[in-house]
């Protein structure tokens, strides 16, 4: 694969808000056309990693390339849906306007929104099941509904690489299903998804690859190889419920240790 085909490559990224780094020496390689989960405990630097990739927070050191080029040349190929709590919608904006904001990068700020753009934005709202709310003020939606609208805005952008920070946080089961269906259909179109994800029990179902971090990277690769009990324990320490580990990694029927005769009852 050439660099130009690699959606995102991060090398030696270190980010610090104060004395100690929030992300330390992170390397990351995001494969095209796959869904990758970023997992790790609260405060592990997951959101910081995404923000540093996007240049929203400055990095102390490191390199980020998007499809083989510096971010500045590739911004239009990335869509970003921030962690929900970080967005405060006090000013009055309609849902449809928020989605149409996703179109501005293609349109240029000065071009007028036409009927065609409105119908494109409506299509995106329809995909996330929010078409009926198009004229509602964004501040008057529930958190889960807002989350769907932000996803619709990122769909309107028509990006190649989607960065989502906890797209399923605080949404009900039906919304989670709606969002995962949208993400899977983006993937089917060959787009690349990188999402911070908290629910370890759905990782194997939803994602192809994982990136496990606790300030420094812990493991990276296909779910079958990198999403291991050992890696999770290293990242989460004692913070993982043992019931969850048992559920994720059911103990196989204990095989007799080599060199010892099998015990007979």
Ligand X SMILES: Nc1ncnc2c1ncn2[C@@H]1O[C@H](COP(=O)(O)OP(=O)(O)OP(=O)(O)O)[C@@H](O)[C@H]1O
The alpha carbons of the chain give a radius of gyration, in whole angstroms, of 21
Q: Which of 36, 47, 65, 214 binds Mg ion (CB under 5 A)?
A: 47
Exposure of 215 by Cβ count < 10 A (0-12 exposed, 13-18 middle, 19+ buried)? buried
Q: With contact defined as beta carbons under 8 Å apart, do 186 and 33 qualify?
A: no
Q: Which of 10, 36, 47, 52 binds ligand X (CB under 6 A)?
A: 47
Q: Which of 22, 164, 200, 219 binds ligand X (CB under 6 A)?
A: 22
Q: Is 43 in the site for ligand X (CB under 6 A)?
A: yes
Q: What track of x and - describes contact with Mg ion for positions 81 through 100 (by CB under 5 A)?
A: --x-----------------
Q: Which of 7, 45, 144, 167 binds ligand X (CB under 6 A)?
A: 45
Q: Is 214 in the site for Mg ion (CB under 5 A)?
A: no
Residue placing its CB nearer to ligand X in the complex, 52 or 130 = 52
Number of residues that bind Mg ion (CB under 5 A): 3
Q: Which two tokens stand for residue 147?
A: 């989350």
Q: Which of 8, 44, 96, 103 binds ligand X (CB under 6 A)?
A: 44
Q: Is 46 in the site for ligand X (CB under 6 A)?
A: yes
Long-range (24+ apart) CB contacts under 8 A made by 169-176 are: 169/83, 169/84, 169/198, 170/84, 170/143, 170/144, 171/143, 171/144, 171/147, 172/144, 175/129, 175/144, 175/147, 175/148
Q: What track of x and - describes contact with ligand X for positions 95 through 124 (by CB under 6 A)?
A: ------------------------------
As separate numbers, helices (DSSP H) first and strands (DSSP E) second, the chain gives 10, 10
List residues near ligand X by CB under 6 A: 17, 22, 40, 42-48, 83
């Amino acid at each position: 694969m050439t660099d130009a085909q690699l959606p995102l490559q991060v090398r030696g990224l270190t980010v610090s808000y104060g004395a100690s780094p929030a992300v330390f020496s992170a390397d990351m390689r995001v494969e095209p056309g796959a869904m990758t989960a970023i997992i790790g405990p609260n405060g592990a630097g997951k959101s910081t990693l995404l923000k540093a990739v996007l240049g929203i927070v400055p990095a102390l050191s490191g390199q980020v390339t998007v499809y083989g080029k510096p971010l500045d040349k590739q911004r239009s190929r990335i869509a970003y849906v921030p962690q929900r709590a970080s967005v405060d919608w006090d000013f009055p904006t309609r849902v449809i306007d928020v989605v149409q904001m996703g179109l501005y990068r293609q349109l240029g700020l000065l071009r007028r929104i036409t009927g065609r753009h409105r119908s494109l934005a409506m299509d995106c709202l329809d995909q996330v099941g929010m078409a009926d709310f198009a004229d509602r003020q964004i501040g008057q939606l529930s958190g889960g509904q807002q989350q769907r609208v932000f996803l619709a805005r990122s769909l309107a952008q028509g990006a190649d690489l989607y960065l989502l920070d906890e797209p399923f946080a605080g949404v009900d089961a039906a919304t989670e299903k709606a969002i995962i269906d949208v993400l899977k259909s983006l993937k089917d179109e060959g787009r690349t998804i990188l999402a911070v994800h908290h629910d370890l029990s759905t990782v194997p179902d939803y994602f192809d690859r994982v990136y496990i971090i606790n300030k420094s990277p812990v493991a990276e690769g296909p779910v079958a190889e990198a999403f291991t009990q050992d890696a999770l324990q290293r990242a989460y320490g004692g913070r993982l419920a043992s019931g969850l580990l048992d559920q994720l990694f059911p103990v196989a029927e204990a095989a007799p240790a080599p060199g010892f005769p099998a015990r007979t009852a």
